[in-house]
Amino acid sequence: MSESGELGRALHTWRDRADPATVGLPTGGVRRAAGLRREELAQLASLSVDYITRLEQGRATSPSAQVLSSLARALRLSAAEREYLYLLAGQPAPGPGQISAHIPPGVRRLLDHLDGSPLSVHDAAWNLILWNPLWAALFGDASALRGRERNIAWRHFAGVPSRVSHSPEQEARFEAALVGDLRAATARYPADAGLRSLIRDLRGVSTGFARLWDTGIVGIHESDTKTVHHPDVGTFTFDCDVLVAPGSDLRIVTYTAAPDSDAADRLRLLNVLGTQALAEDSAPGQP
């Protein structure tokens, strides 16, 4: 069997193995077979159903590293399975000198239990790799975003519209922490070409970023508040915390509200409205 055929067979096997309930999909209704439907995998991986079909049938033979990362994440592959996926696709698996978007099973299970608060997960370069439905309802659905559109540092320094507003002091802390994170990432991942390209392009698009980078500024993410302007439930302020998953270099951004507060009430309303409340011009926000 050709490598493309073996890739398709492996994807089909992993799709059949996946439990819809485990990946947050409804389990009601009649299913002809266990596992995920192609359209469900396409939704989880932010790919088209046609592309999933062509991959499984061996007609799409050169998936990109970004596509492979999305598939591995959607199928919840183990580290060994993820490496095998890259091997079948003829792509080098991310090594020690490259940023990984892999979410370990234990971290994934932890995130599944935190579905009552908006949260997002980012890699060491602040690329958005995972979010829950409440985050999408709060900030906008990010599934159609590609490449730099999913990078928090790029969106902020390039001036992409956001539902989040900062005071001058908050913005200074946020920018220092972002630049500090990226500076540390370049030391930990010297072989990551995507990270080097991001730094170069950020310097070109933002004089503010270039100035901060050249000063050698170092900052850390501390607990802070974020003011969100939502088109349907109004303006309110959350507590925001950035957690780092040990051993994986992932950033988990959580938004919480004090019990019985105005923000908690609006969050409950948003949870009821869900993503149906999103305006058509919504733009994902910043952490």
pLDDT tens-digit map of 206-225: 999 999 999 988 777 888 89
Give me the residue label for tokens 């040990």.
246
What's the pTM? Answer: 0.74
User: Which stretch of 85-94, 163-172, 182-191 has the lowest confidence by average pLDDT?
Assistant: 85-94
Q: Where are the alpha helices (DSSP H) in 18-64?
A: 38-45, 49-56
Domains and CATH numbers, the chain: 3-88 (1.10.260.40), 105-277 (3.30.450.180)
Looking at residue 92, its pLDDT comes to 78
pLDDT in tens, 133-167: 889 889 988 888 888 999 999 999 999 999 999 99
Planar angle of CA 122, 143, 16, nearest 5 degrees: 95
Decide which of 145 and 198 is more confident.
198
Q: Are strands 234-245 and 250-256 parallel, antiparallel or unpaired?
A: antiparallel
Looking at residue 144, its pLDDT comes to 80
Query: Does 29 score more than 70 pLDDT?
Result: no
Planar angle of CA 191, 104, 37, nearest 5 degrees: 110
pLDDT in tens, 95-136: 667 888 888 877 888 788 887 889 999 999 999 988 888 898
Residue 178 and residue 200: Cα distance in Å, rounded? 15
Residue 181 and residue 27: Cα distance in Å, rounded? 40
The overall average pLDDT reported for the chain is 85
